[in-house]
Amino acid sequence: MDGFGIQGLVPVDGESPTQLLVLDDRAFDVLSAVLPLASAGTVRVHEAAGRCAELIRRDRTWTPKAVTAMVCRDLRTVPEPLLPTGLTLRPVCRVPEDPPDGVSLTDAVAAAGRAMPAGEVSTAALVTYLRSLPEGPRLFAAVDDDGVVRGTSGSRTFFSDAYVFFVNTDPGWRRGGVGLSMTAAALRSAVKSGATRASLDASGPGIPLYRRLGFTAVAQITQFSRSG
């Protein structure tokens, strides 16, 4: 879907996740038509689309979260911070085609669940969502010496543009550079896939971290999510 003020995917198979970006209220009529068809997934609504945001809020099956959209326009400038001592970067085995020696997706999502506020996400739904993503996203985990996942990150690449997501740090490992290093790892993976620019959605505490990697804030967004 690519129309006035709206772009993204609304799958008709009932299994793949909905992924929509609403830029302004020109999208209202189209969104009104497609929202009842939307499966589980994410709708990101810019602050200029107030009517669209209210439309989604009225459907109480969508959970809103205020975030800041940030962009890095030149991935060549991104530093490469190391993980803290005691942690090792590993790929996550999201689908059968991924490296078989990677961390299991279930373990990575369990770690992400521990990092999030209680009740914010269903780990089972998150596993299903991540497995269903198209375009081959790459996920990563920071694993301690006992094999426990302490941090996660991921990126998806669309030609020269990348989107970073799934950045989480175990509460006991915060303020030690785990999030910074894991985000950088996701960006390095995106560069290898041809990306030159990247974007992400940041919560308040993450904004200073992402600025250190060359990101700048560009818009306030309400991120609506719904599990299957």
Q: Which of 201-211 are b and which e, b meaning 16 or more Cβ less than 10 Å from the residue's Cβ?
A: bbeeebeebbe
Q: Model confidence at 78, in pLDDT bands (50, 70, 90)?
A: very high
Segments of 5-160 assigned E as strands = 6-9, 18-22, 41-46, 63-72, 87-93, 103-104, 138-144, 149-158
pTM, rounded to two decimals: 0.85
Name the CATH superfamily for 75-219: Gcn5-related N-acetyltransferase (GNAT) (3.40.630.30)
- The contacts of residue 153 (CB under 8 Å, 6+ apart) are 139, 140, 164, 166, 167, 168, 182, 183, 185, 186
Domain boundaries along the sequence of the chain: 2-61, 75-219
Q: Give tens-digit pLDDT for 16-73.
A: 678 899 999 999 999 999 898 887 788 999 999 999 999 999 998 899 999 999 999 9
- Looking at residue 101, its amino acid is D
What is the CA 36 to chain-centroid distance, rounded?
23
CA distances from 41 to 77, 86, 223 (A): 32, 35, 10
Which of these ranges, 82-86, 130-134, 216-220, has the smallest mean pLDDT?
A: 130-134
Report which DSSP code applies to 83. P
Q: Report the pLDDT value the prediction gives residue 193, as an integer from 0 to 100.
A: 94
Q: Which of 164-198 are b and which e, b meaning 16 or more Cβ less than 10 Å from the residue's Cβ?
A: bbbbbbbeebeebbbbbbbbbbbbbbbbebebeeb
- The contacts of residue 136 (CB under 8 Å, 6+ apart) are 156
> What 3-state class would DSSP assign to 167?
strand
**Contact status, residue 186 vs residue 155, Cβ threshold 8 Å:** yes
Query: Could you give the dihedral angle defined by the CA atoms of residues 189, 201, 40 and 143, in that order, rounded to the nearest 10 degrees?
Result: 50
pLDDT at residue 79 above 70? yes
Q: Give tens-digit pLDDT for 155-175.
A: 999 899 999 999 999 999 999
